[in-house]
Amino acid sequence: MEHIFGQEWEITPAGGATGEAFYAQREDQRLFLKRNSSPFLAVLSAEGIVPKLVWTKRLENGDVITAQQWLEGRELKPSEMNHDLVAKLLKKIHRSEPMLGMLSRLEKTPINPEDHFQNVMENIDDDVRYLPEVQKAVSFLIKEAKNVYCDEKVVCHGDVNHNNWLLAENNQLYLIDWDGASIADPAMDLGMLLYWYIPEENWEDWLQVYGQELDDHLKLRMKWYVALQAISSIQWYKDKDSTEEMNKWILFLCDIMSQEN
C-alpha cells in the first residue's frame, strides 16, 4: 500500500480475516482502503449504505484498491438492534432496485431454498451431521423446503451481526462488510436479526417499522433459514476448534427447534 501513497501517509492494517483492509492517514486526511472489493461497493456508496467511496485505482498487477471515507463511529451494541434506524436501513437495502440490478449484473443468481440447503449440507461432516439437534433440524428443513418458497427476492447482506452496523458520530447508520451478499428471500436477513436480537413479543412492532406484516409464512421462512445458518455455523466453529462458540450455536439450534412452527 505504501507505494501507492508515498511516505507521507501512515498505512496500518485494519484487521479482519482476509488481511486486505487498511487505514491510511496523512495529517487530517483519513481513508479506509480495501484490496479487490466487489464492484458492488460503488452502488452501496451511492445508496448511502456504506461510507462514501472516494476513489478506485487499478494497479499494474490487476489488483483494485478502493478508498472510502474513514468515519469516526462505533459498532452497534446488541441491545441497539431494536432501534428504528436498523429496521429502516434494512428496509432501504431490501427495497433498493439499483442494488438488486447491480448484483444481478454481477451474475449473482437468486438463491432458492433447496439449492441453499444442498450447498450447506455438502460441507457438513459426520460429527456435526449426526448431532441429535442437527438431525432434528435437518428433518425439519427437508420437510418444509417446498413450503418456504417466496417470490420476493432482494439483496441480502447475509451477516447482519451487530458488529457490521456502524453508527457514525453524526448518527448516520451504515451496514458494512458486504462480501457475502446474495439475492435471496429477505427472510434470510430478517430471521437472523430477529432471532438473535429481538424478543419474539417485539417482532411485530419491529417488522412494522421495517414495513412487513408478521404472518405464519414469514415465521416459517425465518425459522427455516435460521436453522440452516445455525448448522453452517456449528460446522464453521468446529473447523476453527472453537468448542465454546460451537456449543453456543448448538444450544441456539436446540432453542429454535423447540419452538412451534
Q: Which residues belong to the active site?
A: 159
DSSP-derived 3-state class of residue 261: coil
Look at residue 111 and give its three-state secondary structure: coil
Would you state the torsion angle of the CA atoms of residues 218, 221, 223, 226, taken in this order, to the nearest 10 degrees?
-120
C-alpha cell at 137: 433440524
Cβ distance 257 to 140 under 8 Å?
A: yes
Instruction: Give me the long-range contacts of 40-45 (CB less than 8 A, separation at least 24).
Output: 40/99, 40/102, 40/103, 40/106, 40/178, 40/181, 41/66, 41/68, 41/178, 42/102, 43/98, 43/99, 43/102, 44/99, 44/178
- Local structure of residue 184 (DSSP, 8 states): E
Q: Are 116 and 228 in contact (CB under 8 A)?
A: yes
Q: Which helix (H) or strand (E) holds 106?
A: none
Cβ–Cβ < 8 Å for 53, 9: no
For the sheet with 173-175, list strands across it: 73-75, 165-168, 173-175
Question: Residue 108 has what DSSP assignment?
Answer: P
CB 35 within 8 Å of CB 63: yes
